[in-house]
Amino acid sequence: MTLLLQRYGTLGAFLLLVAGFSIAVPQAFASTANLLNLLQQVTVLAIVATAATFVMVVGEFDLSVGFVASLAAVLAFVLFGAGAPVWLAILAGLAAGAAAGLANGLLVARLGVPSFVATLAVGTIVSGFAYWASGGSSLFSGVPPSFTALGRASVYGVPALTLWMIAVLGLAALLLARSRFGRRLHAIGDNAAAARLVGLPVARDRTLAFVLAGLVAALAGLLLAARLGSVQHTMGEALLLPAYAAVFIGTTASPRGIPNIPGTFLGVAIAGVIANGLTIIGVEPFVQRMVTGAIIIAAVLIRRAGRTA
Amino acid sequence: MRNHLLGAAVVATLLGATAAEAAGERVSVLTPYLSAVTTAEMAEAFKAEAAKHDWSVDVVDTGGDMGALASRVEDVTAAKVAAIVLISIDPAQIQDQVSKAKAAGIPVVTIDGAKNDAVAVNVTSDNYVLGATMTKFLFEQIGNKGKIVRLFHSAHPGVRQREIALDDALKANPDVTEVGGHYVQVPGQIEDARAAVDAILLANPAPDAINAVWAAWDEPAIGADLALKAAGRTGVVVAGIDGNPQAIELIKACSSIVGTVRQGFGQMATIAADELAKILSGGTPEKNELYAPVEVITRESLGVTCP
């Protein structure tokens, strides 16, 4: 029982939430249309949380992921305004994300700047660029339909956003769990000094983890922009704390308590179901926040109860 | 055991909330800016009007997060509410979700928003007129000559119109120049504006370096007033827009805030509720955009004499 609670407590809490909402509002919550809604709603957060997971695996934090998401989206829309084709706008957004990630990686892995400080600084610079590029305004005109289709279309009834999420999280999970690179990242996160002693390229791999995080965060920003059809230079910032909350919840779903992609997805799904279900029920916003916080604490406590019992 | 307790708590919360929802037609009010006093005022005024119509109202605030706002609009659409009311948001920023709500047969009404094909009616003030009225008043306070600081937030469609009015007034008054500006962060607008003005004052230490602060709405004006007080700077006048009760108290108290332009937020909510009632009973709105009246509030209009 203890082992079950330890391994599946977080999953149990998620299933309990789904069951609770399905009983309370069966027609609205437990409908196919709402399931498709939910899958679309969690996509951007799931991808940003994946970016955060990459750097948490190597024992670091990246506080710039939300800012990077904003910059990629703003850059794409500014380029649309200048008549650029969709592929170029997307490439520019992704390149900006990778560049920000590289800056983070070099500062942390080569120059030894603590990741909290380095990524906050880079994030602040990035937010300045996004602000400058957008002029502080919301941008929503001249967006090619082929771009918004990335976030709004569906393939055989499955939302395109869901396919993006499956692709990104699937690749990230494979990379972290099955590849040599992923195993090296875990080794660095477990004990960087030991990894260095056995000859692993610690600085290079840490830098690459940040580059991947920047790239993935930029993709999340572009998909959010495609979903909304509008951008604001602050649009990604709200994703930072929920992303890390999801990664932390995700660690409770791992036997060793380490960041992992399936766990991160579970954390995102819990946050998504709570927000979706409580809104459908019509719970006031202050109650929503209290319930969300309480459920996150409960998920972690269940996990701890499993460990200590 | 803890699992059971958690389960019981979740189910009790859900069932309790469902029971509370039972009365009347359900109208969902959504906004990313409930932390702004005036947005909260509109939401409260709408709730009061809704009670007269026996509607059940739930309010959703996403704390400045447009992505979350889009998701919550999808949620209430899935919940098949009778109507959606969006406050202080240009529906074009979440066009897909608003269009889907309309397609699902759910009327969408905006208060302090913008006209949109998917929206039945937008009830607002003419924000350009608000901006022009306040700017004219503020420029007169400094004799149509001097240096000003701009506190703005262009992401809000109404605020953007006020900024355009300021731009036009600056072109028409070349003796008034802009020495600094700050994009105010929301939420946390008062503290953010205060910090920005603190820094701008430090960068412009001469007594006549700044003559006025143009605040796109009252909360940044309040932040500017706090910064001016803390710096001991006198001779700088501040004006905002909205008729925020705290700003009016500060005008009465002879602070640096010398005026505000009151939007009829309560009236907007009343007009929106009346139009929505018409829509829900099968009618159509009078127009797709309706304006509530505005009023300039100054020391003079409040009967205050300052030293």
**Chain B residues closer than 8 Å to A283 by CB:** 13, 17, 58
Q: Give me the helices (H) in chain B, please.
A: 2-20, 37-52, 66-78, 95-103, 127-141, 157-172, 189-203, 218-231, 245-252, 265-280
B68 and A228 in contact (C-beta within 8 Å)?
A: no
Cβ–Cβ below 8 Å for A12 and B3: yes
Structural domain containing residue A218: 2-308
Residue B305 buriedness (CB in 10 A; 0-12 / 13-18 / 19+) = exposed
Tens of pLDDT, residue by residue over B261-295, are 998 888 999 999 999 999 999 999 988 999 998 88
Return the residue in A134, A280, A283, A296 with the most chain B beta carbons within 10 A, the one to mutate for interface testing: A280
Looking at A127-201, which runs of residues are DSSP E strands? Answer: 154-155, 158-159
Q: Tell me where in chain B the CATH 3.40.50.2300 domain(s) lie.
A: 12-124+265-291, 127-263
pLDDT value at residue B153: 92
Closest Cα in chain B to A138: B155
**Chain B residues closer than 8 Å to A140 by CB:** 92-93, 95
A307 at B interface, C-beta within 8 A: no
Task: Tell how far CA B42 is from the center of its chain.
Answer: 9
A44 at B interface, C-beta within 8 A: yes
Residue A53 φ then ψ, to 5°: -65, -40
Buried b (16+ CB within 10 A) or exposed e, B127-148: bbebbbbbbbbbbebbeeebbb
**Chain B residues closer than 8 Å to A228 by CB:** 66-67, 70, 93-96
pLDDT value at residue A168: 98
Tens of pLDDT, residue by residue over B142-167, are 999 999 999 999 888 789 999 999 99
Query: Which tokens is B195 given?
Result: 């910090």
pLDDT value at residue B240: 97
CATH 3.40.109.10 assigned to B12-124+265-291? no
Closest partner CB to A279 (pick from B76, B153, B183): B76
Please choose, from the candidates B160, B43, B166, B64, the residue with its C-alpha nearest in 3D space to the C-alpha of residue A70: B64
pLDDT value at residue A284: 73
Query: Which tokens is B47 given?
Result: 């709730």
pLDDT of residue B7 exceeding 70, the answer is: no
Closest Cα in chain A to B93: A230
CA distance A138 to chain B (A): 5
CA distance B234 to chain A (A): 30
Cβ–Cβ below 8 Å for A234 and B64: yes
Residue B298 φ then ψ, to 5°: -130, 175
The ipTM, to two decimals, is 0.78
Closest Cα in chain A to B185: A234
In this structure, of A66-75, B18-27, B185-194, B212-221, the range with the lowest mean pLDDT score is B18-27
Return the residue in B2, B11, B33 with the most chain A beta carbons within 10 A, the one to mutate for interface testing: B2
- Between CA A246 and CA A269 the distance in angstroms is 8
Return the ∠ at Cα A274 (arms to A302 and A20), rounded to 5°: 75
Cβ–Cβ below 8 Å for B155 and A232: yes
Overall number of domains in chain A: 1
Query: What is the CATH classification number for the domain harbouring A201?
Result: 1.10.3470
Q: How many CA atoms lie within 13 A of A69 on its CB side?
A: 31
pLDDT of residue B20 exceeding 60, the answer is: no
Closest Cα in chain A to B18: A281
A139 and A78 in contact (C-beta within 8 Å)?
A: yes
Residue B95 buriedness (CB in 10 A; 0-12 / 13-18 / 19+) = buried
pLDDT value at residue A240: 92
pLDDT value at residue B28: 96
pLDDT value at residue A275: 87
- Return all residues near A214 (Cβ < 8 A) that are at least 6 apart: A51, A62, A64, A65, A68, A97, A98, A99, A100, A101, A102, A104
- Could you say which residues of chain A have pLDDT below 70? 1-7, 285, 299, 302-309
A253 and B96 in contact (C-beta within 8 Å)?
A: no
Closest partner CB to A232 (pick from B9, B60, B66): B66
Task: Tell how far CA B128 is from the center of its chain.
Answer: 14
**Chain B residues closer than 8 Å to A40 by CB:** 71, 74
pLDDT of residue B114 exceeding 50, the answer is: yes
Best CATH choice for the domain B127-263 from the list 3.40.50.2300, 3.20.20.140, 3.10.20.30, 3.20.20.70: 3.40.50.2300
Cβ–Cβ below 8 Å for B185 and A234: yes
Tens of pLDDT, residue by residue over B51-107, are 999 999 999 998 888 999 999 999 999 999 999 999 999 999 999 999 999 999 999
CA distance A30 to chain B (A): 10
Helix axes A160-178, A145-152, angle to 10 degrees: 70
pLDDT value at residue B217: 95
Residue B12: band (very low, low, confident or very high) from pLDDT cuts 50, 70, 90:
very low
pLDDT value at residue A2: 61
Give B200's DSSP letter: H
